[in-house]
């Protein structure tokens, strides 16, 4: 417990701005030892990535370290010149970024990039560096390393790319590795493998690792000690097991409490929304479901995507993205649709509401008939009023040139749902209904945070008084605490308005919290579909079980963690 | 390879369409027989001429004949010069080619380093100056710049000739005025005028792309890997800016070929542009039709070359990803 590799003392980082400096990190103390993984957790804007970048000497302009010190084995990195710092990068400190899809140069082969790094950092001739590059790829678990050296990044899967990125970061045999959200962009099953790889490299080479993440589950499974950050300040620190199971600070408790649990469904979501009776009445007017029959039914639904031709004159092949015998959603039911990326869940969701044309089969709405026969302008208008969608990315799904009140008023006016004079009042009430101040409608979307924008998206979907809502990864782009609020809002709306929902997500825990019934997708097929509770508690399908087992959980593996931190 | 074959096929189809337009212009704008014969020709003679020229054949057959003739380089006889159109184009083309090459090379030599520099040192004084000058380059009309240059370098300083093409010399089997000092001095000012606009456009594009690419994760990761600056800028960043830049350069150079009319006019340069002006003035239909096909050909070929360069640059196109 002596060998301290890297240490920050009273570290202060500011971003000068013409309206006054913004301090991203206020006096942060941290220690990293060799052979230890230190977790740095916080929500977006907490300053956790900023600390990683500062240690690396790669703060984005105009940020600068304005106080304190960063010691790497006794050497203060802040005093170093740019050139001296550049010599440390790769050789003493390595870094891994979040998205393996974008951290590799798309125009260079993987072997060239790795050999380039090795030749430069270890001062080896190119031929020898290539030899070593193949060994390194092999060591991070890439099969057929020699052949794969000549391939380009786009020929690798996400998990394989992140392995390449790790090999690249380790090319100069650094002592300290900063991993900035290394698995956030990966599927859960791959995430576990990558974390295991980082763990094993850390132990083998007695490497110090700083693991920056927003995901408590990742910390719980990987880190030895954890630092919890908020608004650029240290909230709490300690061994991982202690921080997670006996947090001493309220913020840490809230953070852990807001993580949806995969273990059970909890009725603990706070409901911060002020209920206004009038708007609920308006929303329900004439649009409540009657009965509990199937609202929408898909039968023998497939979707093929064309793949490129192999030869010039050949016929193009196709790839079956979705192939399901049938799926139905009852009135007032929430069906969760889970699967890893590429499983076809979003395509299926979009086919269910007619955003994507199926290759064969059809979707039948009990109120509107088969989607394929909804042709006339009036029929399509009626369908679209009943069926609404909330997308994943609240940043790109709102028109940034329109004021929020206009965004909300447009569908009401288009469908003639209210008297012109009443619309402004309704828009205000809608905003209030989703937990925003009613007078914020005068602002533009960019003036809102991610969570607030998603609320606007929900308000927009509600503004036509829909019966059916497709939620396509509605919380994936949001911080956990906001995610919890969003789920609470959706569930509350669903209860009071009797909405039918199709909830698409890769996050099993989120799906568990909202769904009555869950369908699990793998490679375009539904492998299991049953009521949520039995599916999570006693999955019948092996794939479902694998997904549940590999999902990181904040509360799980505590024995393992306690064991490790005891060593 | 598949990608390139497909592109060649597309280019062929495009050229056939251009030829169709050229053919229709040739055939139906004005009556070729009327243009050939005098007032006193009898109706029978005209009909005979019509028959012998094949103007009574089915339209598809005529089109096929036109395409076959075009492939052999036969575009008919110019009304106003009474000479072979292809011969006239062959006479004028070298002058335009050398002007375009000179200005193209000049603008690339200046634009690429300047674009990279302004992309890297965004705030520097030199970068700001370059950017300000590039705005002037893009916005000054070429005739005005041409006249100014003539005023300064020909009239006041008397350094450079103000019009025409200089002596031509043969070198390595090519005949060009660029091989003599006299020729070069004649070409310098028109090339500079053509270059300035290209320079502004390409420089700004490279800078914008550099700024874009330097923000990407793989550049941040390249820094984090400890790569030195010149390697990050030239090996990793520059190559990633090239696809849009090459597209723009291809289009710019083709339009130089086809539409350097004003500059050629100002400097009395005996190139394609002045030929086109003449053809328009005289309603010389065969010449116009041939010019149309020529412009189509230049754009098609330059796009093909651009596509081939894409394949060299970006493996994702090679492998059909995206």
Q: Give the tens place of pLDDT for each residue, A36-82.
A: 999 999 887 788 888 999 999 888 878 889 888 999 988 888 888 88
CB B190 within 8 A of CB B177: no
pLDDT at A558 over 60: no
Q: Pull the structure tokens for residue B200.
A: 């502004």
Instruction: For residues A215-238, give the mean pLDDT.
Output: 90
pLDDT at A262 over 80: no
Q: What is the pLDDT of residue A276?
A: 56
CA distance A343 to chain B (A): 18
Distance from C-alpha of A465 to C-alpha of A524, rounded to nearest angstrom: 32
Distance from C-alpha of B163 to C-alpha of B269, rounded to nearest angstrom: 7
Q: Pull the structure tokens for residue A324.
A: 């399901």
Q: At B160, phi and psi to the nearest 5?
A: -120, 145
Distance from C-alpha of A384 to C-alpha of B47, rounded to nearest angstrom: 67
Residues above pLDDT 90, as percent of chain B:
6
Q: What is the pLDDT of residue B35?
A: 66
pLDDT at A376 over 80: yes
Higher pLDDT, A427 or A307: A427
Of A71-75, A554-558, B162-166, the one with minimum mean pLDDT is A554-558
Tens-place pLDDT, residues B33-48: 776 667 777 888 888 8
CB contacts of B231 in chain A (<8 Å) are 116, 120
pLDDT at A337 over 90: yes
B298 closest CA partner among B244, B259, B241:
B259
Distance from C-alpha of A371 to C-alpha of A357, rounded to nearest angstrom: 10
Q: Pull the structure tokens for residue A534.
A: 């039995």
| Average per-residue pLDDT for chain A | 85
Helix or strand holding residue B6 (H, E): helix B2-28
CA distances for A188 relative to A158, A184, B304, angstroms:
12, 9, 44
List the A225-230 sheet strands across, edge first. Answer: A93-96, A176-180, A208-213, A37-41, A225-230, A233-239
Q: What is the pLDDT of residue A113?
A: 93
Of A526-535, B134-143, B200-209, the one with minimum mean pLDDT is B134-143
Question: Most distant CA pair in chain A: distance in Å?
Answer: 77
In this structure, are strands A176-180 and A93-96 parallel, antiparallel, or unpaired? Answer: parallel
A304 closest CA partner among A324, A315, A319:
A319
pLDDT at A566 over 50: no
B15 closest CA partner among B321, B304, B250, B237:
B304
Q: What is the pLDDT of residue B55?
A: 75
In this prediction the ipTM stands at 0.73
pLDDT at B274 over 90: no
Tens-place pLDDT, residues A79-132: 888 888 888 998 999 999 887 778 899 899 999 999 999 999 999 999 999 999
Instruction: For residues A551-567, give the mean pLDDT.
Output: 49
Q: What is the pLDDT of residue B32?
A: 66
Q: Is the peptide bond before A39 cis (omega within 30 degrees of 0)?
A: no
Residues 98-137, chain A, touching B (beta carbon < 8 A): 98-99, 102-109, 116-117, 120-121
Q: What is the pLDDT of residue A393?
A: 82
Contact B221 A165 (CB under 8 A): yes
Q: How many residues does chain A have?
A: 567
CB B302 within 8 A of CB B253: yes
pLDDT at B153 over 70: yes
Higher pLDDT, A421 or B26: A421
Contact B228 A91 (CB under 8 A): no
CA distance A130 to chain B (A): 17
CA distance B129 to chain A (A): 22
Contact A120 B2 (CB under 8 A): no
Instruction: For residues B5-25, give the mean pLDDT.
Output: 87
pLDDT at A196 over 60: yes
Distance from C-alpha of A141 to C-alpha of A162, rounded to nearest angstrom: 11
At residue A560 the predicted structure's pLDDT band, cuts being 50, 70 and 90, is: very low
Distance from C-alpha of A332 to C-alpha of A107, rounded to nearest angstrom: 50
Of A260-274, A356-370, A553-567, the one with minimum mean pLDDT is A553-567
Q: What is the pLDDT of residue A287?
A: 62
* Most B-contacting residue of A62, A83, A105, A185 (CB-CB within 10 A), to test interface: A105
Contact B220 A171 (CB under 8 A): no
Of A279-288, B2-11, B88-97, the one with minimum mean pLDDT is A279-288
At residue A567 the predicted structure's pLDDT band, cuts being 50, 70 and 90, is: very low
Tally Cβ neighbours within 10 Å of residue A87. Answer: 14
In this structure, are strands A37-41 and A225-230 parallel, antiparallel, or unpaired? Answer: parallel
At residue A470 the predicted structure's pLDDT band, cuts being 50, 70 and 90, is: very high
pLDDT at A501 over 90: yes
Of A270-274, B1-5, B108-112, B279-283, the one with minimum mean pLDDT is A270-274
Contact B224 A58 (CB under 8 A): yes
At residue A494 the predicted structure's pLDDT band, cuts being 50, 70 and 90, is: confident
Residue with tokens 């196109």: B317
Instruction: For residues B252-278, give the mean pLDDT.
Output: 82
Q: At B77, phi and psi to the nearest 5?
A: -110, 135
Of A22-26, A381-385, A545-549, B282-286, the one with minimum mean pLDDT is B282-286
List CB contacts of B267: < 8 A, sequence separation 6 or more.
Answer: B146, B150, B162, B163, B164, B189, B190, B193
Most confident residue range from A310-319, B43-52, B105-114:
B105-114
CA distance A60 to chain B (A): 10
Distance from C-alpha of B198 to C-alpha of B256, rounded to nearest angstrom: 9
CB contacts of B240 in chain A (<8 Å) are 105-107
* Most A-contacting residue of B3, B122, B214, B226 (CB-CB within 10 A), to test interface: B226
Distance from C-alpha of B209 to C-alpha of B203, rounded to nearest angstrom: 10
């Amino acid at each position: 417990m002596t060998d301290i590799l890297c240490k920050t003392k009273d570290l202060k980082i500011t971003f000068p701005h013409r309206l006054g400096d913004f301090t991203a990190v206020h006096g942060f103390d941290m220690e990293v030892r060799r052979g230890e993984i230190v977790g740095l957790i916080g929500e977006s804007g907490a300053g956790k990535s900023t600390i990683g970048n500062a240690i690396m000497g790669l703060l984005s302009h105009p940020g600068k370290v304005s106080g304190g010190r960063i010691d790497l084995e006794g050497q203060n990195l802040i005093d170093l010149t740019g050139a001296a710092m550049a010599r440390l990068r790769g050789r003493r400190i390595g870094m891994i970024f979040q998205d393996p899809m974008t951290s590799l140069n798309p125009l260079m082969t993987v072997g060239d990039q790795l050999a380039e790094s090795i030749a430069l950092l270890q001062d080896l001739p190119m031929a020898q560096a290539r030899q070593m590059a193949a060994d390194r790829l092999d060591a991070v678990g890439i099969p057929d390393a020699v052949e794969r050296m000549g391939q380009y990044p786009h020929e690798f899967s996400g998990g394989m790319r992140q392995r390449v990125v790790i090999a690249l970061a380790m090319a100069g045999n650094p002592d300290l590795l900063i991993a900035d959200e290394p698995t956030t962009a990966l599927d859960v099953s791959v995430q576990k493998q990558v974390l295991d790889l980082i763990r094993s490299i850390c132990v083998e080479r007695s490497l110090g690792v700083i693991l920056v993440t927003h995901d408590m589950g990742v910390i719980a499974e990987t880190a030895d000690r954890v630092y919890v950050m908020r608004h650029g300040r240290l909230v709490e620190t300690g061994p991982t097991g202690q921080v997670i199971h006996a947090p001493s600070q309220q913020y840490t408790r809230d953070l852990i409490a807001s993580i949806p649990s995969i273990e059970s469904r909890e009725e603990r979501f706070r409901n911060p929304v002020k209920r206004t009776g009038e708007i609920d009445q308006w929303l329900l007017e004439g649009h409540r479901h009657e009965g509990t029959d199937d609202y929408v039914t898909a039968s023998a639904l497939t979707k093929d995507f064309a793949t490129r031709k192999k030869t010039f004159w050949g016929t193009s092949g196709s790839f079956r993205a979705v192939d399901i015998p049938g799926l139905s959603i009852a009135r007032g039911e929430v069906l969760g649709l889970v699967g890893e990326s590429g499983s076809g869940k979003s395509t299926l969701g979009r086919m269910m509401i007619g955003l994507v044309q199926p290759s064969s089969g059809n979707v039948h709405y009990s109120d509107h008939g088969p989607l394929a026969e909804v042709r006339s302008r009036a029929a399509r208008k009626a369908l679209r009023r009943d069926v609404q969608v909330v997308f994943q990315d609240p940043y790109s799904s709102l028109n940034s040139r329109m004021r929020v009140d206009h965004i909300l008023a447009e569908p009401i006016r288009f469908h003639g749902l209210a008297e012109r004079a009443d619309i402004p009042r309704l828009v205000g009430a809608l905003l209030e209904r989703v937990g925003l101040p009613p007078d914020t409608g005068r602002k533009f979307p960019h003036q809102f945070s991610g969570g607030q924008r998603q609320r606007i998206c929900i308000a927009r979907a509600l503004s036509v008084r829909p019966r059916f809502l497709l939620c396509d990864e509605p919380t994936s782009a949001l911080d956990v605490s906001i995610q919890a609020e969003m789920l609470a809002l959706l569930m509350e709306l669903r209860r009071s308005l009797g909405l039918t929902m199709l909830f698409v997500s890769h996050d099993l825990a989120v799906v568990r919290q909202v769904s009555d019934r869950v369908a699990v997708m793998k490679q375009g097929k539904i492998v299991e579909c049953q009521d949520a509770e039995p599916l999570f508690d006693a999955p019948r399908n092996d794939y479902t079980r694998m997904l549940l087992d590999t999902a990181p959980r904040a509360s799980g593996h505590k024995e393992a963690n306690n064991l490790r931190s005891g060593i | 390879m598949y990608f390139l074959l497909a592109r060649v096929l597309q280019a062929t189809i495009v050229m056939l369409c251009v030829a169709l337009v050229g053919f229709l212009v040739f055939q139906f704008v004005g009556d070729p027989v009327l243009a050939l014969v005098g007032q006193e020709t009898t109706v029978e003679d005209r009909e005979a001429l019509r028959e012998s020229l094949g103007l009574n054949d089915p339209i598809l057959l005529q089109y096929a004949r036109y395409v076959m003739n075009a492939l052999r380089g036969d575009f008919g006889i110019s009304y106003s010069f009474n000479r072979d159109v292809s011969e006239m184009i062959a006479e004028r083309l070298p002058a335009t080619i050398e002007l375009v090459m000179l200005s193209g090379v000049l603008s690339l030599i200046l634009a690429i380093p300047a674009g990279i520099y302004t992309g890297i040192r965004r705030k520097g004084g030199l970068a700001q100056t370059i950017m300000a000058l590039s705005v002037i380059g893009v916005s000054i009309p070429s005739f005005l710049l041409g006249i100014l240059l003539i005023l300064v370098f020909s009239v006041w300083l008397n350094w450079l000739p103000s019009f025409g093409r200089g002596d031509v010399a043969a070198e390595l089997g090519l005949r060009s005025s660029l091989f003599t000092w006299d020729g070069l001095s004649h070409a310098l000012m028109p090339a500079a005028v053509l270059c300035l606009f290209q320079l502004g456009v390409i420089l700004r594009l490279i800078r914008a792309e550099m700024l874009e690419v330097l923000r990407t994760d793989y550049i941040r990761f390249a820094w984090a890997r400890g790569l030195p600056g010149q390697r990050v800028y030239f090996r990793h960043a520059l190559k990633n800016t090239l696809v849009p830049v090459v597209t723009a350069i291809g289009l710019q150079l083709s339009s130089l070929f086809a539409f350097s009319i004003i500059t050629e006019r100002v400097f009395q340069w005996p190139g394609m542009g002045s030929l086109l002006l003449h053809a328009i003035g005289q309603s010389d239909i065969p010449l116009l039709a041939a010019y149309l096909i020529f412009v189509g050909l230049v754009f098609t070929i330059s796009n093909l070359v651009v596509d081939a360069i894409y394949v060299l640059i970006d493996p994702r196109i090679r492998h059909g990803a995206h």
